[in-house]
Chain A
C-alpha cells in the first residue's frame, strides 16, 4: 500500500478555492496534466456517485468516481474506477481549511493505492509531484489569471525574433542586431515575449571572451522581463500572459523573444514593473543571498562593501543598513562617496589604489570588519585580510581587478572564506522563488530601490556597452526591445 500526502497554502480565500475544487469536472480548466474531461451520463459535477471520464496530456485515460462531498468540511473523496495506469484501490481525499491569519487556504491532498511491485517509487513521484504538486501550481496560476483560459497548446512552429548577437569576441563593435528564429518551447520550457532586458558588467566579460560562456556568433545577456507567450509540456507554474522575469545562464537575454528553461523563470508581482525587474533580478538576488545566505548579517555587525556605489554595492549598502549593520564602503571618488552615503553607507572610504585596511581598522576601534563583501579580486587581497576581524568572514563574489591566484593565509585571522556564485543559490526553483520573493518584498518595503535607470533601445546595445565601459553611467541600464 502506498500513501501519498501533499499539502500547500494557497493565497486566496477558502470560498474561492472550494468553488473550484467542489466541481468534480473543473480539473481540466486548472490542472496542467489534465486534458479533456466530462462527467458521464450528463450528471451534475457535485452529485455524489458521478463519474468523471478524462484524458491526461500524456495520453493516459482515467475514470474516477466521486465518493463523498462536504461543503461544511470542504472535503471531497474520490476513487479510480478504470485507468490505463496500473493503479489499484486508489482512493484520494482533498480537504481545505481556512487559514484565518491572512484569509488564505490550506490544501491537504492524500491518497492510498497499490501498484505492481518495484514501481512504488515511480508512482510516488507521479502522483505526489505530477498530480498533487502540479495541481497546486496549476490552481495558483489559474487564480492569478483571474480564473480564465487554460494553458494554450504551444505553437509548434518557430517564431521570428530579433537579437543582439556577438559576432566574435571583442569590443562593442562586434555586437550586431539581427533576425533570429526562436523555437517553440519543448518539455519544461517557456517562450517569453520580452519587454525589458538588464545590462550587467558580466555581459562585457562574455562579449570579450573573458568568461567563455558563448561561442560566437551568439546572443549575450543574463536577465530580462516580459510576458509568457507559450509554455511547453510539464510546465505548471506559468501560463500565457503571465508577467515574468529571470536572471540565469546561459547568456542570450538580448533578444525580443526567448525560449528557456521554465524552472528559472519567476512570476512578477504587480508592484514590480518590467523595467525594474530587468534591472534588478541579477543584482538584487545577488545582494539577497550575500546578506542572508552566504553570511547571515546580524544587527551591529561591521560590514565592508567594496565598490559601494556600484550596482550590487548600492543594494548591499541599502539592505545591510536596514538590517542594522555598521556599513563601511570603498569608492573611487568623492562623487561616488556621496552616492554611497545617500544609500546607507555610514563610512565611505575614497581610495584609488586598493588601500583601505588602516581606515577600516580605525572605524572599528582596531577590530576590523566582521564580514567583507569583495568584488575586487586579486589587487585587494592582502588589504582585505588586513581589514578582516578575528573570526571574520571574507566573501569573495567577484574579481574586477583580476582572478585570485591564491588566497593569503587565513589562519592569521581564523578567517572564513566563501566563493559564492548566484546561479548555485538559484539552481533549485524553490530557492529561486524564495530569493526573488525576498527581493520583491524588500522593494515593496522600500528597503532597496533602483536609484537610476538608463534606457536604450535593444538595437543600441553596443552604445550601452560603450557608455558602461567608459563609466558614463551610474545605476542600472535596461535595453528595450
Chain B
C-alpha cells in the first residue's frame, strides 16, 4: 500500500472552490485531462455510491465510485473501479479547509493504493504531480481573482 499526498493553496474562498469540486460529474469543467464524463444509470452526481464514467483526453476510460461527500467538511472520497493505470484498492480523498488569512483555500488530495512494486515511484509521481497538482493548477487559473 502506498500513499500519495498533494496540497496547494487556491486564491479563492472555500465555498467557491467547493462549488467546482462537489460535482462528481464535473471533472471536464475543471481538470485539463478529462474529455467527457457521465454518471452511470442516470443517478444524481451527489448520490453516494454513484459511478462516474469518464474518458481521458488520451483515450483511457476510468470508472470511479463516490464513497463520501460532505458539504459540512468540504470533503469527498472515491474509489477506482476500473482504469488503465494498473492500480488496486485505490481510494482517494479531496479536502478543502478555509484559510481565514486572505480568505483563501487550503486544498488537500491524497490517495492510497496497491500496485506492482517496480511501478510505485512512477505512479506516485504521475498521480501526485501529473493528476493532483495538474488539476490544482488548472483550478487555480480557473478561479484566479
Contacts and interface: CB of A to CB of B under 8 A. Distances in A.
Contact of A9 (B6, B99, B108, B128): B99
A258 B29 CA distance: 53
A9 B136 contact: no
A101 B108 CA distance: 10
B7 A98 contact: yes
Contact of B7 (A7, A97, A108): A97
A96 B2 CA distance: 22
Given A101-B136, A106-B97, A7 B106 contact: yes
B: contact size bracket: 10 to 19
Contact of B100 (A6, A100, A101, A104): A6
B45 interface: no
Contacts of B97: 7, 106, 108
Q: Give chain A's interface secondary structure class.
A: strand
A215 to B, nearest CB: 39
A97 B6 contact: no
A: contact size bracket: 10 to 19
Nearest to A433: B102
B101 interface: yes
A98 B7 CA distance: 7
Contact of B9 (A5, A99, A136): A99
Contact of B101 (A7, A101, A102): A7
B9 A101 contact: yes
B8 A9 contact: no
Nearest to B133: A101
B8 A99 contact: yes
A7 B136 contact: no
Contacts of A9: 9, 99, 101-102, 104, 106
Contacts of A100: 5-8, 128, 133
B98 interface: yes
B136 A106 contact: no
A197 B102 CA distance: 30
Interface string A298-315: 000000000000000000
A133 B6 contact: no
Interface in B1-36: 5-9
A466 to B, nearest CB: 44
Interface string B116-130: 000000000000100
Interface in A70-127: 97-102, 104, 106, 108
A159 interface: no
19 contacts: A5-B100, A6-B100, A7-B98, A7-B106, A8-B99, A8-B100, A8-B102, A9-B106, A99-B8, A99-B9, A100-B5, A100-B6, A101-B6, A101-B9, A101-B133, A102-B8, A102-B9, A106-B9, A133-B100
Interface of B: 5-9, 97-102, 104, 106, 108, 128, 133, 136
Interface of A: 5-9, 97-102, 104, 106, 108, 133, 136, 430
